Each structure stands twice: as structure tokens, then as C-alpha cells.
Amino acid sequence: MRRNGSGVRGPGVAHEQRRRDILEAVFTIVDTEGTDQVSIRRVADTAGVSLGRVQHYFPTKDALLAEAFAAINDQGADRVRERLLQEGNTATPARVLHVVLTELIPDTDAERRLVRIAQAFEAYAHTRPELKERLTRDYRELASLLMRLLRDCVYSQADAGGDPSEFHADAYELLALATGLAALVTTENLDARRAFDIIAARLEGMLETHRRRRP
């Protein structure tokens, strides 16, 4: 194992960096030309590595795209987790819910790029049963998280009532609203600030309706 001024480095670190560079090349091609233009050779050229190097990590185009699909989804999830860590353990359920929803809406060039790539991969996933299954599962898990957060916003933790499934329709409405707003922001039909205001207003109205209905 080698050391340098920035810390400890070894074969595993270099391996992971090369893998990330290859996936970044895939993202660049997908963002500028679409998934149809991805090939092992094009990725090698874009990454500045040999064809054999790409095949060492990803033997086929399908394997390469499947891994890139997973990686771009993980980046989105990581972004949400980082924001929640910044909020700390004292954040209220309403604040956590707001963070999760607004993080689905891009506010910077890097975030808009991430959304564009994710949208391209979603279209690609619909023709690949395994990827479509993961896409469905990811959305289902996100909706389940929203249900639990909505429940915690309306009922206290000690309250025996308030089954999260009560908020099934609301969770999917918020998810659809946030992803739809993300698409409008990405295509520059809507400003991110305005999108945040829309999601905040709908969330506030939804929570107020549920609180009024409580016995």
C-alpha cells in the first residue's frame, strides 16, 4: 500500500476511481446524445481509456448501462441523505418531508444534469425487466417514506392511531408533483424557486386538511 500527502491509497482506491471515470463517461454520452449512443468503444474513447479497460469492469453494453443506471439513482439518494444529515437529528417530520421533496427538484446545473440523465435511464429501464423492477421498487420505497413522514406530521409518535397507509394517495400525489416539477425545471419551463413554493404550498395544505379531520 502506498501513502502520499493526502492519506492512504491502494489498489482498491485506484480501481474504484477508474470505475467511476468509466461511469462518468457513460453519463456524459447519455446526457448529450442519449442511451442509444452508448457503446463500449464510445465510452472508452470518452473516458480516455482502452477498450479492454472498459471491458475489464463491464463485459457488455447491457452490464455497463445497468451499472450506470444504478449509480445515477444512488447519486440522487445520496443527495437526499446528505441534506438530511445537514438538518441534524432535531429536524421535525415536516422539515424532513420538505427536504426530501425539494431535493427531487434540481436547483443547480449539476442537479439538472443529474435529473436529465436519470430521466433518460428511466426511459431505457422500461424496456429492461430487471431495471424496470428496480425503478418500480425505488419509487415504491420513496412513496413509503413519504407516507411515514406524513403520518408523523399529523400524529404524534406516541399516538397509536395514524396508519401510514392512510396517506398512500397523498404520498403518491406529492411524489408525482415533485417529479413533474423537476421535469419542468429541467426543461427551463419553470424556475426552481417557484417549484419549491408550489411543493411547499401543496404540502402545507395537505397537512392542514389532515389535521382538521382528526377527531
Helix (H, G, I), strand (E, B), or coil: what is residue 30? helix
Residue among 16, 65, 22, 13 nearest 45 (CA): 22
Helix (H, G, I), strand (E, B), or coil: what is residue 131? helix
Residue among 93, 98, 23, 31 nearest 63 (CA): 23
| pLDDT level of residue 210 (50, 70, 90 thresholds) | confident
Cα–Cα dist 116/143, whole Å: 21
For 58, which DSSP code?
-
What the block records as the C-alpha cell of 13 is: 482506491
Cα–Cα dist 119/73, whole Å: 10
Judge contact between 58 and 67, C-beta under 8 A: yes
Place of cell 443547480: 108
Cα–Cα dist 170/112, whole Å: 26
pTM: 0.84
Express each pLDDT in 95-146 by its tens digit. 999 999 999 999 999 999 999 999 999 999 999 999 999 999 999 999 999 9
How is 3-22 classified by DSSP, letter by letter?
EETTEEE-HHHHHHHHHHHH
pLDDT of residue 10: 52
Express each pLDDT in 134-189 by its tens digit. 999 999 999 999 999 999 998 865 555 578 888 999 999 999 999 999 999 999 99
| pLDDT level of residue 80 (50, 70, 90 thresholds) | confident
